[in-house]
Amino acid sequence: MGPLAVGLALFSAFVTFVVLADLTPVSPTHYVVVTLLLVNAASVVLLLAIIVREVWQVVQARRSGRAAAKLHVRIVGLFSLIAAAPAILVAIVASVTLDRGLDRLFSTRTRAAIENSLIVAQAYLNEHAQIVRSDILVVAIELSRSKAVFDQNPEKLGDFLTFQAAVRGLGAVIVLDSDLDVVARADVKTNLTFALPPREALPNISDKEPQLVLLPDTNYVAAIVKLPNFENRYLYVTRLLDPRVVPQLRETQKSVNEYTAIEARRVGVQVAFALMYTVIALIVLLSAVWIGFNFANKLVAPIRRLIGAANAVSEGNLFVRVPVRPAEGDLAHLGETFNRMTQELRTQRDDLVRARDVIDTRRRFTEAVLAGASAGVVGVDSHGLVRILNRSAEKLIGRSEDEALGKPLNDVFPELADIMFAATTGARTQDQVTIARNGRERNLSVRVTGEQSAEADHGYVITLDDITELVAAQRTSAWADIARRIAHEIKNPLTPIQLSAERLRRKYGKVIVEDRAIFEQCTDTIIRQVDDIRRMVDEFSKFARMPKPVILAEDVADTVRQAVFLMRVGNAEIDIDADIAESPMPAQFDRRLISQALTNLIKNATEAIAAVPPEELGKGKIHLTAARDGDTIVIDVVDNGIGLPKENRSRLIEPYVTTREKGTGLGLAIVGRIVEEHGGTIELRDAADKVPGKDPNLRGAWVRMRFAAAGKAEAPAPTATETHTATSQPSPQLTLNE
């Protein structure tokens, strides 16, 4: 519809121009001008509606963020400006030219020239009128003087009139009566017919002043006067004008009349021409704007397709293609180039995706290996920052992955500073370190491996193996072997020594008189010490020959209550109570060994309470709790005794490690062996950790015993506070001093 509207509008503007320029047979009358104005106005409205629709589409595209919307607006604005500026300039120039032309047409000089022409014409007529006046008065006077002659001889009146017409150059000299009947007239040969004055005008004519009639259209000037001394007689005289001047007089009068009419219609003419100029200018302007819109649409369309395709590519769609139209020229070539680019990108992306899939497969495999590895793995870059940390390493160092990644290794794991320095210098890449986390010490086997990279700056992989349980097991095994040897080497001579001492006392007790008291004291000392040594050797033997547990279905709650009851009877001064989560609490375990372990723990607690000065102790308290945690039985023993040492706490479960003077160091070791035989662990903590929010300086120990409810099972994965099971990693040889 756009091209049709533009064609009709331009055609109507052209027709208006040729009509106003008087280049057609159609006269530019008021009706014609108004009709053309209405047709042009309708064309303007149609064009305006089409352009408003185009503008609305552009605005909607701009609001919706359509591709190339801003460029479309700029191109349309530029074309509209380029089209509007000349049209507006031409309209202004035309209006100014029309105004200036009309101003010159109606200027004072032009008006004076036209008025002077009329004045000259009037002067010419007036001159001839004065001549006629003079002639008619002279002739009237002569007629009055000669009235008697003419009364006697009427024929001489005609001759007199002919003579006066000939002498004075008059076109007609006629004597009329009151009925306009000709009484006498001059005999003048002329082809003109002179019009007589109207009869009703005769009564108003006097004999003193003739009545003049200026008749330029009739090519003569007439005058009539009443003849004195004549009754009801009138003299009518005409004087011919110059035939060359009369047409000019007529044209002058016509021009004056036209000028007066144009001047009266000046404002209307200006308004009409201004409207025509405005309408034609609007038609040209709107047509140019629509052409600009059409051109902008054709120019922006391929750019919009390219932008849309580029947006699709940015969103990951590399299968998009731009339609190529040869008529679009360079933009079509650009579309072909874009299609080739997307094809190359699609090929490269496919290659990258395949490579990524391979890398992801390897990465997932590596992550699965690292996650499932029992050894801790720490990745460190060339700057000493932690980049990789598996779950086992998190548990070993006591920090989560979020807390460690991106941090310097010396801050996260300061114990590895020396071996990392040695590894970077090439001195050594494997060592053992001891770490303390949450009050527990652990022995770790550390191995540092450099990345296989040709670059100077490469990272390192640190492997951490927890050998705490292995070291403890080796120590326990060594002590068990020592215990067997001691029991074998020492127990055999103890009986002869004791028997000899008793025999000496029986045989010589009554014979020895001097120093009898000393003799009795020495023999008693020998016998007592031999008993002590035998008891110690028995404990060595028990530790060296721990019986294998007999796993049966038992009640944990009943076992705990019996152990508490027995220890409560023997320690009445201490409050010993138990809190059982559920009763009964069935599980698979060796009741005798678990009872022995509980008895040892409660006994240690009573000894720890006894080590506290009475003025500081108050009332001694031992609290036991037993509960099921999933598939695990958890038994806690909490006291308010002297507590456990902070340093080397984890070694308290090793044989012959004790903090008391007379302790053998086998109590917790035996408990540890029993729990280990039941697939569990033992934890040594502070009583302050049992109740969160309490005073951290609260005195006392908290010992947790954990074992599988279904009988012996593999120990659970170690935590920051648990005693770890032995690993398969090799450990250094332990000497007897260890």
pLDDT of the residue at 637: 93
pLDDT of the residue at 625: 92
The pLDDT tens digits for 101-151 are 655 555 566 666 666 676 777 777 777 778 878 888 888 888 888 877 777
With beta carbons less than 8 A apart as the criterion, state whether 501 and 527 touch.
yes
CA-CA distance, 168 to 140, in Å (whole number)?
A: 13
| Total length of the chain | 738
What percentage of the chain reaches a pLDDT higher than 70?
76
pLDDT of the residue at 634: 93
Contacts of 312 (CB under 8 A, 6+ apart): 320
Residue with structure tokens 């003048």?
188
What number is the average pLDDT over the span 4-9?
A: 77
Neighbouring CB atoms inside 10 A of 598's CB total 25
Statement: residue 693 has pLDDT above 60: no
With beta carbons less than 8 A apart as the criterion, state whether 430 and 445 touch.
yes
Residue with structure tokens 């395949």?
354
What number is the average pLDDT over the span 517-546?
A: 74
The pLDDT tens digits for 36-85 are 778 877 877 887 787 778 777 767 766 766 666 676 677 777 777 776 67
Burial of 698 (0-12, 13-18, 19+ CB in 10 A): middle
Mean model confidence pLDDT for the chain = 75
Q: Which of 50-54, 230-234, 676-680 has the lowest mean pLDDT?
A: 50-54
CA atoms within 13 A on the CB side of 367: 6
Q: Taking the C-alpha atoms of 686, 691, 693 and 696 in order, what is their torsion angle to the nearest 10 degrees?
A: -20
Sign of CA dihedral 583, 588, 592, 596: negative
pTM of the model as a whole: 0.37
> What are the residues facing 732 on neighbouring strands?
none
CA-CA distance, 384 to 408, in Å (whole number)?
A: 6
The pLDDT tens digits for 276-326 are 677 777 777 777 777 777 777 777 777 777 777 888 888 878 788 878 777
Statement: residue 726 has pLDDT above 70: no
Highest-confidence range of 57-61, 352-356, 459-463, 651-655, by mean pLDDT? 352-356
Helix, strand, coil shares of the chain, percent, nearest 5, are: 60, 15, 25
pLDDT of the residue at 705: 92
HEC per residue, 199-250: HHHHHHCCCCCCEEEEEHHHCEEEEEEECCCCCCEEEEEEEECCCCHHHHHH
pLDDT of the residue at 624: 92
The pLDDT tens digits for 401-421 are 777 787 887 777 777 777 777
Concatenated DSSP letters of 400-456: -HHHHTTSBHHHH-GGGHHHHHHHHHTS-SEEEEEEEETTEEEEEEEEEEE---SSS
pLDDT of the residue at 661: 60
Ordered strands of the 681-686 beta sheet: 575-580, 621-629, 632-639, 701-708, 681-686
DSSP conformational letter for 705: E
CA-CA distance, 634 to 560, in Å (whole number)?
A: 11
Q: CA nearest 478: which of 659, 731, 738?
A: 738
Q: CA nearest 95: which of 285, 286, 270, 282?
A: 270
Predicted confidence band of residue 633 (pLDDT cuts 50, 70, 90): very high
Predicted confidence band of residue 537 (pLDDT cuts 50, 70, 90): confident
The pLDDT tens digits for 618-630 are 788 999 999 998 8
What percentage of the chain reaches a pLDDT higher than 90?
5
HEC per residue, 568-611: HHHCCCCEEEEEECCCCCEEEECHHHHHHHHHHHHHHHHHHHHC
What number is the average pLDDT over the span 214-221?
A: 69
Statement: residue 204 has pLDDT above 70: yes
Q: Which of 8-12, 214-218, 465-469, 550-554 has the lowest mean pLDDT?
A: 214-218
